[in-house]
Every structure is written in structure tokens, then in C-alpha cells.
Structure 1
Amino acid sequence: MLDHIALQVADPAASAAFYDRVLAPLGSTRLLDFGQVIGWGTTQPRFWIGPVTTEGTARELHVAFAAADRTQVEAFFAAAVAAGAEVLHAPRVRPEYHAAY
């Protein structure tokens, strides 16, 4: 349904370094880089970040990336933790959403 999504981030350089690390296990790479606006994907950019351009307080956002299998899920999780991500919930199957979630 979605073609792509873009997030505003406070520190584009630090965020880019983080997403370079955590998206690699999913097969995604940095495909376009316009300085502070960067897009990752496998064949075309589907996930973008850019600098904050609006006023107000930042809010938490839940983004779930697709993985081909549990091995990719575990590799993504390990890369995120190694890159300093805060762990709210360890990966597990959540069939209440769908069979492979």
C-alpha cells in the first residue's frame, strides 16, 4: 500500500549511521543521499530520513521493517542493540497481528 515513508530526525548524520547498520541485515542499503535527506531500500528508496523542519515536540513513532525470515529479524535486532537502540520489546512472533509478525 505505501510506496515510501519519510521521518524527520534531529541529527541526520547520526540517524543515517544508525540506519546504515540496522537496515543492512534486511538487505537494504543507502540508495540516495542528498546530504541531510537520505533514502534506503533494496531496489528503490522506501525509507527516508531528513532534518526536522517543523516546530513542536517530537513524538514516538512505531516503524516496522519487513524481514524475509527469523534470521534477518535477529540480525536486525542485534545490529540495532549494538548501535545503541533502546530495547522496548525483544523480537517475538505476535500472531494477534498476523502469522509472521
Structure 2
Amino acid sequence: MLDHISLGTHDLARATAFYARVLATLGYQVQHQGAEESAFGPAREWLFILYPADSGQATAGARMHVALRAESREAARAFEREALDCGAECIREVAERPQFGADYFGGVFRDLDGHAIEVLTRSA
């Protein structure tokens, strides 16, 4: 259903450096980096795109979040470690949460612009 996600940022260079490290844990690499956007994904795909915010706010929604699928529990844990090492705020640490499904394992973090980013896997 979804093709890609775009987020606004106050500091494109800082956000690009943050997501280059964090998204690498999920197999995403920088596919494009320019003055007006940075794009991440697997080879030649732009699935996660950052743009400079048009106003003083990076448009982080109060109840909006982006959920990213990890291939394994270890990949979800690696995402958590990188996110925290890069300055993200932990909202909900990576763990089993049966209320979200018997196979759910994930957590939620606030990135450097305040966006809520969830990482999860549904593999054992």
C-alpha cells in the first residue's frame, strides 16, 4: 500500500547522518543526497526521504509515527542501539508486547526532530 515515507527536518545534514547510521541496521543505505533531500532504501529505491522543513517546525505530528520493519529481533535491537547512540530519545524500549500481537517485538524512539519512529519485527 505505501510506496515511501517523507519527513521534514530542521537540519538536513544532521538528520541524514542520524538516519544513515540507524537505517543501515535495517539494510537501507543512502541512495541520494542533495541540497534539497536525502533518500534511503535498498539498492536504487527511495523509500525513506528527508526534506528541509518549510517552516520553523519539522511537522512532527502529536500522534503520527512511522513504523519500520526489521528482519529479526537482533536487527531491531541494533536499530535501538544506533538510535540511542545517535541521540534519539527512547519512548518505548524494544521488547515483546503481546498486546500488539503474539509475535510483536519492537520499540519506539523520538528522532532528532521529534518524529516518533517505531522499529519492529514479527519474526521469532
| TM-score bucket of the superposed structures, by smaller chain | 0.7 to 0.9
TM-score, normalisation: structure 1: 0.87
1:97 Cα deviation after fit? 3.1
Of 66, 69, 74, which aligns to 1:66? 69
User: Comparing both structures, which one devotes a greater share of its residues to helix?
Assistant: 1
Unaligned runs of 5+ in 1: none
The answer to whether the 8 Å contact 2:40/2:49 transfers is: yes
Say which is worse superposed, 54-63 or 81-90, in terms of deviation. Answer: 54-63
4+ runs of 1 displaced by more than 4 Å? 54-57
Residue 35 of structure 1: how far off its partner (Å): 2.1
Of Structure 1 and Structure 2, the greater strand share is in 2
Identity %: 33
Deviations 1:48-74 (A, max 9, x none): 000011466743441111100000000
CA distance in 2, matches of 1:31, 1:57: 22
- CA distance 1:13–1:57, change in 2 (3 Å): closer
What's the offset of the Cα at 1:95? 3.5
Once superposed, what is the RMSD of the aligned Cα atoms? 1.9
Count of residues in correspondence between the two structures: 101
TM-score normalised by the chain length of structure 2 = 0.72
Gaps of 5+ in 2: 105-119
